[in-house]
Every structure is written in C-alpha cells, then in structure tokens.
Structure 1
C-alpha cells in the first residue's frame, strides 16, 4: 500500500460546495475555522433523528419497561456515552487530526487496523439502520416500493457525504432549528398519549430490561465517539477544551435524552413493527406528512456523518483511494446490505447491532480515555502518530482481553453467553465490564512507562517524517 501523505502537507482550499480533498493529514493552521458552538448544532442535529426515537421506543414497546424507569435508563445511557463524545472532541482542536489517527498512539499503526476496520463496519451498519428508517418513511408517504425507496435514500445520502466536512456542518446547522420545531410538535402529541405502564409483558424482568435499555442507549451514542474529533479537527487550536466538551457532549446529551424519552413515551402505545407508523398514527394527516418529511431529512443528516467517518476510517486503514471514492464504496456497501436487512425483524436487528458495536467500542473508548487523560496524559505527539516504526501499542491487547471477558455476557439472537443465559439481568453489564477491564489492563501494561510531567501536547501539528 502506498504511504500516506506527509502530515505537514496542506490540502487545497475548499468552499462549502466543493468536494473536500483533505485526507488523513493534520489540518494546518491556515485552514482552521469555526467556533465550538458549531459542534452543538452538529451533534444535536445528529441525535434529533428517527434512530434515536426508535431506540427509545424499544425500551417500552419491546423490552417492556414502564415509562418512568425507561426515562431514567435512557437518560443514564445517553449521558454516559455523550460525555465520551464531548471528551474525545476536545482532542480535535489540539491535534487537528482524525479520531482514528489519534488512536494510533495507544494502539500503534498496525495495532490500530482492527479499530479502523471496525469503524468502517460501524459506519456501514448505521448507514443500513438509517437507510431502512428512511425507506419506512418514503413508503408511508408515497407508497413507493422498497427498491425505488432504497435508491432514493442512497442517492441523497451519498450526495452530501461526498462533498464533505463543510457541507455536513451546513446541513446539520440548517436542520437544527427545523427539527426542534418538528419534534416539539411530536412531543406534544407523544407525551399526551403516554401510558404510565408499558403495553407489553416484561422482557426478562424489570432489572434486566432496565440494564438492557442503558446498554443499548449507551451503545447508540457510543458509536459517535469513534468519529468525535473528525468534526472538531478544523476548529482553531485556541478553542477552549471546556467549551468544546460542553458543545459536543451537550448537543448529543440534550437531543439524545429528549428524543429517546419521547420514543419511550410513544412506545408505550404498542410494539415497533414499522417505526414510521408509530409517529404518523399520532398526528393528523397533513401534520403527519410534514413531520415525516422532516424525519426523513433528519435521517439523511445522521447517515452522512456515518458515511463520512466510515470512509475516513478506510483511508486510515491504508486504502489509497480519494476520500470521495471511499464514501461511495462505504455507501454502496451499506445500500447493498440494506436490501438484505430490509426483509428481517427491524427491532431485533437494531438491538443486535447496537450491542455488537458496543462490545468493541466500550473497550476501545476505555483505552483512549486511559491513554490520553489518565495514564499517559496525551504524551503521544503528532509526529509519532504517523511514524512507521510505531507499529504496535498496548491498546489492542487490552481490547482483546476485554472482548474475551465480555463473551459470557453477550446476549444476541445468534449467541448467548453462559452468564447471560444463567443470569439475564447480568447480560447488559458486559459493555461496562469490558470498559473497566480494558482501562485497567492498559493502565497496568503501561505502568512501567513513566508518565510525562513536563511538555504538554503541542497546540499545532508539527511536521512529521513523510511515510
């Protein structure tokens, strides 16, 4: 595979509507722009969407939680993972590089390849979820068949993601106000119809259902953490970390709690067979049409983030194609898989996907937190992230050990671990056990290495040796 460009090489100038040319290199000082507030609108818009509503609805319609416990579970899961999105976003202005480039520090260049591969899978998976939700809406609105709706969704998603970073921020900012108004209307109807007790029988008991809702809600937001710095790396190095944290984490948390709890309220009315119908059945015909159109736009806004960062992950893995071509490849794969997934049980597929992604992302996030904020406190310089000699770190062994520990806790439609089978309430704890094991393992494996006490992380990317 051809070497990546030197991290000191600046990409050409771009406008809002030109196709972004930047790849995996750091963003130079003269290309930095924007304010932390832009992260609030981005992550708010990304979470005020149909997938958030659907995951919230699972808590009451499928898992059988009563409404009040569902509120608490959705809130806890959202806040836990939104804090990581905010924390990881603070590294963007400091380094100017992608989130997965930063993970080369604790993982090494070769040790980071599984993380890059999984991020591609995560981007493709969320593309499938959001594409299916968009298809449900299009079928309700127009009556068109599955295949035409799939093609419409694919074309709309790819057109935005191909253009890149600036267009994504513009779209998210423009939709933020519209979606607040739309979901305020849906909230007025949805919370008015809420039933204090769920309509279905408890899934596997109150405790197990409560923990499962925390786990799947946390996993939904945790998927964004692998992308966090991708959308803050263009901010000036002078951006204050506290403001970046509050903007990114706050946007994710406010939207995630609001829409997740709204979904739980709507879910008390019945099972989620066709997610779009759970909204349309609440509203008058004309209003329902307007709301579903807005939900379709929110679904597109969410998908383009997954396509953009999934494509960037492929570049980090070593593919030497242009960024926009990578978007087309990732989006094309997501479109093909959407065709297959569209003929299955949506609720079960969504639950399985969230938990599977969480099993990897929780240990990975634990290593990043430990490496940059606890054990080594950001000692991995920008130059080292691009050095070929830095092949492996202790991050991958830590994650692999955590995955092994998680196996008995796994509870999927295709596999149930021994602990989850014997004690269903313990199954959802696997994500949190994996996080703790990975963090402690990485800290132990790096304990021999003196923690830095002097020079802080450089505020701007430095020139590094060409690869």
Structure 2
C-alpha cells in the first residue's frame, strides 16, 4: 500500500498503546481510531513551548536586540499571540478531516503545487531539530562536562527513541513533562525575576522601534514553525470535537507557555549576553537547584525536538517518499544531527535569529493562504476529502499567492544574511517582512480565487457520531 493512499493502514498495536510504534502514514485517520479530548492539545502545546528555545529567544530581546524589559515583554506577548492564534485555527481542521496539515494544504495548493511546502516543512523540522539539539548539547556539556560529539550522540538517541514511536508517545511525553516543567520554571521564575534588571531608572522603555518589531517578528516566527504541524496532533480527535474548544486548547497552551517562558527569558537576558544559553540558568541558581533545572530543561528540549522530527518525517511522506514513517523519522533525525555538528561551531545567537526570520518569510505567506482558503473560500466551495488525494488536482492558486507573498518580503528583510532596500533605507523600521508577506499572500489568494462560482457545501468528512458525543 502506498503511503499516500486514502485507506488506513492496519494498526500494529492497539490505538491506545503508548509504546507501540505508530503505523499510520499520510492517510486519513478512520473514525474507529479517533480518541481523546481537545484538552490534550493544551498540554501538548504547553509542553512544546515550555522549553529552552523559548527562554533563549526571550533573552535575545534584551541581551542582543537591546530592548529594556518592559517593551521586550510587550513584544513577546504580541508575537506569541499572533502565532498561537494561527496554531489554534489550523488545529481545528484536524478533527474535521483526520489528515495531516500538509495534506489539507493540497486543497489550495494542489498535489504538485504542495511539494514546495512539503519540502520546506522537512527543512523547517530539520532546522528546529538542529536548534534544539544545539541547546541540549549546551546543557549536557554544562552538566556532565563532556565533549560536543558524545553530547550530540546522547541527544540524537533520545530524540529518535520518542519520535519513532509516534503520536501517542509524543502526547504522553508532553503531558507528563507539562507538570514537571511548571514546577521547574516556577523556581527559575522566582530567582530570575528577583535577580533581573527589570527597568532602567532613567530609561524604563529603552530600545528602538526596530528592536521592538524585530522581537515581535522572531517571536511570531518561532510559533509559526508549529503552524505547519498543527493538525498533525489533532487529527486523531473525534470528528465531533467542538472547534472552539480545540482552538482554545491549542492556542491557550501555546500562549500561556510562550508568554511565560519568553518573558522570563527577557528578564534573564537583562543580566547577561546569550553566548552559552545554559549559563543563564546555571549561574543564576544555587548549584544543586541549577543542576535539577538543567536536567528538566534538557527533557523539555528533547520533547520539543520530537515534534519537529515527527512532522518533518510526515512531510517527507507527503512529498512522495515511499518509506515507512519510522524510517523517515530516522532519516530526518540523522540529517539534523549532521547539520548540528556544523551549527555548533558558530555563534548561536546570530544563527538562531537568522533561522527564525528566514523560516518566517515562507511560513507567514503559507499560513495566510491556508487561513483564507479554509475560513473564507470554503464558505462558497468546500473540497471533498477525496480531492486531497486526487492525482488530477495538481495545482491551485496557493503556490502563486505564497510566492507573491515571499517576493513582497524581500525589500523588508533585515538580518545578517541579507538586507532589503526598504529595510536598509529605514533601519529603524526593523524586519517586517513576515507581516508584509502574510498580508500580500492572503489578499492575493482571495483575489485569485474570487471568480469561482458558488456551490453548495458538502457534509464534513469522516463523520463520527459516537466520537462526537464523547468528544467534550
């Protein structure tokens, strides 16, 4: 059976087995394998965002971008809300369709037009795997005083062990860690906020408008990295799960964690530069407490990475690779480990900033097209589930609209790899490429599809009356 056929693969273990290897590929999840409640998305996205990368990104705002704590906190809240709402919106599509986020994108993009999105999602998954692995290596070297290569081996083994098992194990790990990490970050918050320079007596709102916008951009770009995966972790929910509850659970978990840990990172950044991020924690806390916190941060980093590995591997299957899901996980994880070796030899803060901005240039227009397609276009025409697997549906207007959005970002790009002419002429503007790309792509897709004649909507696929009754 091909990985992209619409009929489900037979399960190798019980659907409720945490330790069984998931056998589902890119096919829809059938009604009899749907389970869970929307609340599970809160713990998943909370656990995914209570992590070292969020802390490090918050620290960039104050220690590298030069913002004072107050404007940095406002920028982090704004950027987190933008991306979390998109994750919440896209998550609502999972229970309704039972398919991966990238499979849903075949509606506006077409089967072949969706291939660049699939390829980028693989790259995004590998890139985040590299970021989180480097952060984990920082922690291991701080804790165990071991070399870079042994630390890389440990990180790779831990990540692959969870990602290979799949959906149920990922939810289990995130749910378990959510409780632990609340306690751990409460301790870090107590020490961090107490020892931070939360305001300058002379300039309580120090920092430029450009630095504020840059912080909003990189913060929203971090969350946008999850957007391409959103439905991957809600597609097993019963089809009758209420969209409002799905949205609040996914967006709420991402927002609460992203704001808390990001603002905490901004506080920590007021007392030190982000060179080795683990030193922000180890130097702040007493030795014993600091070691416990670093171990917890290591676990949170592993938990975040497995989401990127899992969805990056799924994207490879959507792109057409005819291999088992677990093999795809191993390939994506192996590639990430190789790239980690090279990334670990250079300046972390600069690479992290550039990576976030570069991914946002594609993800923002892509997300805009999907939002317009699903919540505006479908009011007039809603494609059947079979169309997502129809080989005759090769291209849609999604790819041209996305490319227009990406092109529109070029003059506004502002990072060390490239600075656009408008950004260069107005350096105080910061990097607003993501926002320009989102607006242009969304408007372009709406305009390109406006001529389509109205047709009657069709019923939601994969109806599950039994599951719907128990979804809440």
Output the TM-score relative to the length of structure 2.
0.94
On the 8 A contact 1:191/1:265 being kept in 2, the answer is yes
On the 8 A contact 2:8/2:24 being kept in 1, the answer is no
On the 8 A contact 1:379/1:456 being kept in 2, the answer is no
Of 192, 206, 210, 2:194 maps to: 192
Query: Is 1:433 equivalent to 2:432 in the alignment?
Result: no
Correspondence 1:60-75 to 2 at 5 A: 60-75=62-77
* Whole-angstrom distance in 1 between the partners of 2:145 and 2:102: 41
Correspondence 1:215-234 to 2 at 5 A: 215-234=217-236
* Whole-angstrom distance in 1 between the partners of 2:39 and 2:118: 28
Which secondary structure state, in structure 2, belongs to the residue aligned with residue 370 of structure 1? Answer: helix
| CA offset digits 1:104-144 (Å, max 9, x no partner) | 00000000000000000000000000000000000000100
| CA offset digits 1:160-203 (Å, max 9, x no partner) | 0001000000000110000000000000000101213479x99x
Of 386, 402, 405, 2:405 maps to: 402
Query: Is 1:446 equivalent to 2:449 in the alignment?
Result: yes
* Whole-angstrom distance in 2 between the partners of 1:164 and 1:208: 41
Deviation at 1:10, TM superposition (A): 4.1
Query: Is 1:418 equivalent to 2:436 in the alignment?
Result: no
Q: What residue is the counterpart of 2:129 in the other structure?
A: 127
On the 8 A contact 2:26/2:317 being kept in 1, the answer is yes
Correspondence 1:242-257 to 2 at 5 A: 242-257=244-259
On the 8 A contact 1:376/1:451 being kept in 2, the answer is no
Deviation at 1:427, TM superposition (A): 3.9
* Whole-angstrom distance in 1 between the partners of 2:100 and 2:170: 16
Query: Is 1:97 equivalent to 2:103 in the alignment?
Result: no
Deviation at 1:458, TM superposition (A): 2.8
* Whole-angstrom distance in 2 between the partners of 1:454 and 1:317: 29
* Whole-angstrom distance in 2 between the partners of 1:198 and 1:365: 38
* Whole-angstrom distance in 2 between the partners of 1:394 and 1:193: 52
Correspondence 1:196-211 to 2 at 5 A: 196-197=198-199, 206-211=208-213
Which secondary structure state, in structure 1, belongs to the residue aligned with residue 142 of structure 2? Answer: helix
| CA offset digits 1:258-310 (Å, max 9, x no partner) | 00000000000021010000011110000000000000000000000000000
* Whole-angstrom distance in 2 between the partners of 1:451 and 1:354: 39
Of 358, 362, 365, 1:363 maps to: 365
Q: 1:393 to 1:412 in 2, by over 3 A?
A: same
How many matched pairs? Answer: 458
On the 8 A contact 1:48/1:298 being kept in 2, the answer is yes
* Whole-angstrom distance in 1 between the partners of 2:455 and 2:233: 28
Q: What residue is the counterpart of 1:139 in the other structure?
A: 141
Q: 1:17 to 1:270 in 2, by over 3 A?
A: same
* Whole-angstrom distance in 1 between the partners of 2:428 and 2:92: 35
Deviation at 1:11, TM superposition (A): 3.1
* Whole-angstrom distance in 2 between the partners of 1:359 and 1:303: 22
Which secondary structure state, in structure 2, belongs to the residue aligned with residue 440 of structure 1? Answer: helix
Correspondence 1:43-442 to 2 at 5 A: 43-197=45-199, 206-377=208-379, 379-442=382-445
Which secondary structure state, in structure 1, belongs to the residue aligned with residue 431 of structure 2? Answer: helix
Moved more, 189-198 or 233-242: 189-198
* Whole-angstrom distance in 1 between the partners of 2:411 and 2:286: 47
Deviation at 1:420, TM superposition (A): 1.2
* Whole-angstrom distance in 1 between the partners of 2:462 and 2:59: 43
* Whole-angstrom distance in 2 between the partners of 1:42 and 1:342: 28
Which secondary structure state, in structure 2, belongs to the residue aligned with residue 58 of structure 1? Answer: helix
Q: What residue is the counterpart of 1:455 in the other structure?
A: 458
Deviation at 1:453, TM superposition (A): 4.6
Give the gaps of 5 or more residues in structure 2.
465-472
* Whole-angstrom distance in 2 between the partners of 1:430 and 1:85: 20
Q: What residue is the counterpart of 2:469 in the other structure?
A: none
Deviation at 1:425, TM superposition (A): 3.1
Q: What residue is the counterpart of 1:19 in the other structure?
A: 21
On the 8 A contact 1:73/1:211 being kept in 2, the answer is yes
Find runs of 4+ consecutive structure 1 residues off by over 6 angstroms: none
| CA offset digits 1:1-33 (Å, max 9, x no partner) | x95443133431532111111000000011000
| CA offset digits 1:56-79 (Å, max 9, x no partner) | 000000000010001100000000
Deviation at 1:440, TM superposition (A): 0.3
Q: What residue is the counterpart of 1:8 in the other structure?
A: 7
On the 8 A contact 2:9/2:25 being kept in 1, the answer is no
Deviation at 1:429, TM superposition (A): 1.3
